[in-house]
Amino acid sequence: MSSMAARIGGGNVNSAWPGVSSRDKRYMGRVAELPCVVCGVHGVQLHHVREGQGMAQRASNYLVVPLCPDCHTGPNGIHGDKSLMRIQKLDEMDLLAKTIEALQ
């Protein structure tokens, strides 16, 4: 239920994510500048891996992946039937690996 889906838009990372340490924000800000890790579209939201699986409270801010609104909360996205991911045979760990790779 805890929606950590941060709306990125203005680019002012410091005003987003209240309660998040500045170190974490710096990392999340870098991830938020990446294109969607599933479809490559820009203008992403951050999805916490394992979000909504009872681990939300312990979800690390370093376990975030950039997803566009469709791939995130859309009906076929990661919070929907996941078909946009399944088409590419991607699971959350693949998305995380791709995110880390993109940041190198």
**Contact letters (x/-) for Zn ion, 54-93, by CB under 5 A?**
--------------x--x----------------------
Tell me: does residue 39 bind Zn ion (CB under 5 A). yes
Nearer to Zn ion, 68 or 95 (CB): 68
- Cβ atoms of 24 and 92 within 8 Å: the answer is no
Shortest distance (Å) from residue 104 CB to Zn ion = 21
CA distance 40 to 19: 29
Residue identified by tokens 């994510």 is: 17
Q: Is 34 in the site for Zn ion (CB under 5 A)?
A: no
Q: Residue 64 belongs to what H/E stretch?
A: strand 64-67
